[in-house]
Homo-oligomer: A and B are copies of this chain.
Protein backbone atom coordinates (compact mmCIF):
# COMPACT_ATOMS: atom_id res chain seq x y z
CA UNK A 1 0.00 0.00 0.00
CA UNK A 2 1.25 3.53 -0.77
CA UNK A 3 2.87 5.17 2.21
CA UNK A 4 1.25 8.53 1.50
CA UNK A 5 -2.35 7.39 2.07
CA UNK A 6 -3.87 8.17 5.46
CA UNK A 7 -6.70 6.46 7.26
CA UNK A 8 -9.78 8.42 8.16
CA UNK A 9 -8.69 9.35 11.67
CA UNK A 10 -5.25 10.39 10.49
CA UNK A 11 -6.83 12.47 7.74
CA UNK A 12 -9.18 13.99 10.29
CA UNK A 13 -6.24 14.94 12.48
CA UNK A 14 -4.32 16.74 9.75
CA UNK A 15 -7.27 18.51 8.13
CA UNK A 16 -9.17 19.66 11.20
CA UNK A 17 -12.37 17.87 10.27
CA UNK A 18 -13.75 15.06 12.41
CA UNK A 19 -13.86 11.52 11.08
CA UNK A 20 -17.65 11.79 11.23
CA UNK A 21 -17.59 14.84 8.99
CA UNK A 22 -15.21 13.21 6.51
CA UNK A 23 -17.84 10.49 6.00
CA UNK A 24 -20.52 13.16 5.70
CA UNK A 25 -18.49 15.09 3.13
CA UNK A 26 -17.95 11.91 1.18
CA UNK A 27 -21.68 11.17 1.21
CA UNK A 28 -22.29 14.65 -0.20
CA UNK A 29 -19.97 13.75 -3.10
CA UNK A 30 -17.45 16.49 -2.29
CA UNK A 31 -14.32 14.49 -1.37
CA UNK A 32 -14.39 10.78 -2.16
CA UNK A 33 -11.25 8.90 -1.07
CA UNK A 34 -10.19 5.64 -2.59
CA UNK A 35 -10.74 2.43 -0.70
CA UNK A 36 -8.39 -0.34 0.36
CA UNK A 37 -9.32 -3.88 -0.75
CA UNK A 38 -11.13 -4.38 2.54
CA UNK A 39 -13.05 -1.10 2.30
CA UNK A 40 -10.95 1.25 4.43
CA UNK A 41 -10.93 4.86 3.24
CA UNK A 42 -7.50 5.99 1.99
CA UNK A 43 -6.88 9.73 1.84
CA UNK A 44 -4.04 10.73 -0.48
CA UNK A 45 -2.32 14.13 -0.67
CA UNK A 46 -4.84 15.42 -3.21
CA UNK A 47 -7.79 14.60 -0.97
CA UNK A 48 -6.08 16.13 2.05
CA UNK A 49 -5.43 19.37 0.19
CA UNK A 50 -9.00 19.35 -1.05
CA UNK A 51 -10.33 19.01 2.49
CA UNK A 52 -8.22 21.92 3.71
CA UNK A 53 -9.26 24.22 0.88
CA UNK A 54 -12.87 23.18 1.40
CA UNK A 55 -12.67 24.45 4.96
CA UNK A 56 -11.25 27.74 3.67
CA UNK A 57 -13.93 28.02 1.00
CA UNK A 58 -16.70 27.68 3.56
CA UNK A 59 -15.16 30.09 6.04
CA UNK A 60 -14.25 32.72 3.46
CA UNK A 61 -17.73 33.06 2.03
CA UNK A 62 -20.03 32.03 4.84
CA UNK A 63 -21.51 29.08 3.00
CA UNK A 64 -22.16 25.48 4.03
CA UNK A 65 -21.63 22.02 2.65
CA UNK A 66 -25.14 22.09 1.29
CA UNK A 67 -24.32 25.05 -0.94
CA UNK A 68 -21.20 23.39 -2.29
CA UNK A 69 -23.22 20.25 -2.88
CA UNK A 70 -25.73 22.26 -4.89
CA UNK A 71 -22.93 23.84 -6.91
CA UNK A 72 -21.83 20.29 -7.67
CA UNK A 73 -25.31 19.46 -8.94
CA UNK A 74 -25.21 22.59 -11.10
CA UNK A 75 -21.97 21.35 -12.68
CA UNK A 76 -23.14 17.81 -13.24
CA UNK A 77 -26.75 18.35 -14.33
CA UNK A 78 -26.71 20.68 -17.33
CA UNK A 79 -30.48 20.75 -17.57
CA UNK A 80 -30.69 21.97 -13.99
CA UNK A 81 -28.08 24.63 -14.65
CA UNK A 82 -29.84 25.73 -17.82
CA UNK A 83 -33.23 25.88 -16.11
CA UNK A 84 -31.87 28.05 -13.30
CA UNK A 85 -30.05 30.29 -15.77
CA UNK A 86 -33.18 30.65 -17.87
CA UNK A 87 -35.19 31.69 -14.84
CA UNK A 88 -32.69 34.40 -13.96
CA UNK A 89 -32.48 35.62 -17.54
CA UNK A 90 -36.21 36.36 -17.46
CA UNK A 91 -35.62 38.77 -14.61
CA UNK A 92 -37.95 41.77 -15.03
CA UNK A 93 -36.09 44.89 -16.02
CA UNK A 94 -35.88 47.40 -13.23
CA UNK A 95 -32.52 49.05 -13.91
CA UNK A 96 -32.78 52.05 -11.61
CA UNK A 97 -32.32 52.00 -7.85
CA UNK A 98 -29.52 49.37 -7.47
CA UNK A 99 -30.60 48.80 -3.89
CA UNK A 100 -28.57 48.22 -0.82
CA UNK A 101 -28.13 44.49 -1.26
CA UNK A 102 -30.34 43.45 1.59
CA UNK A 103 -30.82 39.97 0.15
CA UNK A 104 -27.08 39.53 0.55
CA UNK A 105 -27.20 40.08 4.27
CA UNK A 106 -30.19 37.78 4.40
CA UNK A 107 -28.37 34.99 2.65
CA UNK A 108 -25.33 35.38 4.83
CA UNK A 109 -27.21 35.60 8.13
CA UNK A 110 -27.82 31.90 7.87
CA UNK A 111 -24.22 31.09 8.71
CA UNK A 112 -23.34 33.98 10.98
CA UNK A 113 -23.99 31.92 14.08
CA UNK A 114 -21.82 29.13 12.79
CA UNK A 115 -18.98 31.50 12.05
CA UNK A 116 -19.26 33.10 15.46
CA UNK A 117 -19.07 29.73 17.19
Contact = CB atoms under 8 A, between A and B. Distances in A.
Given A57-B84, A63-B70, A74-B71, A29 B107 contact: yes
Contacts of A103: 27-29, 69, 72
A3 to B, nearest CB: 18
Contact of A84 (B50, B71, B94, B101): B71
A90 B51 CA distance: 11
Q: Main SS of the interface on chain A? A: helix
A53 interface: yes
Nearest to A69: B107
A83 interface: yes
A27 B73 contact: no
A70 B58 CA distance: 13
A46 B92 contact: yes
A84 B68 contact: yes
